[in-house]
A = this chain, B = another copy of it.
Amino acid sequence: MPHTTASIINQCRESGLRRTKALELLIDTLLSSPRPMTLAELSEHKNLNTQCDRATVFRLLQRLTDKAVVRRLGLHERAAYFTLLLEGRHQDFLICSECGKIEPIKAPCPVHALEREIASSTGFTELYHELEFFGICPACSK
Q: Which residues of A contact B (CB under 8 A)?
A: 72-76, 94, 96-97, 105, 107, 110-111, 113-115, 117-119, 122-138, 141
Known A94-B122, A114-B107, A118-B94: A129·B128 in contact at CB below 8 Å: no
B74, B110, B122, B134: the one contacting A110 at CB < 8 Å is B110
Which residue from chain B places its CB closest to the CB of A107 in the assembled complex? B114
Q: Which residues of B contact A110 (CB under 8 A)?
A: 110-111, 113-114
How many copies, total? Answer: 2
A125-B76 Cα distance, complex, nearest whole Å: 18
20 pairs, A vs B, C-beta closer than 8 Å: A73-B76, A74-B132, A94-B122, A94-B124, A107-B117, A110-B110, A111-B131, A115-B133, A122-B137, A124-B136, A124-B137, A124-B138, A127-B134, A127-B135, A128-B134, A128-B135, A130-B131, A130-B134, A131-B131, A131-B132
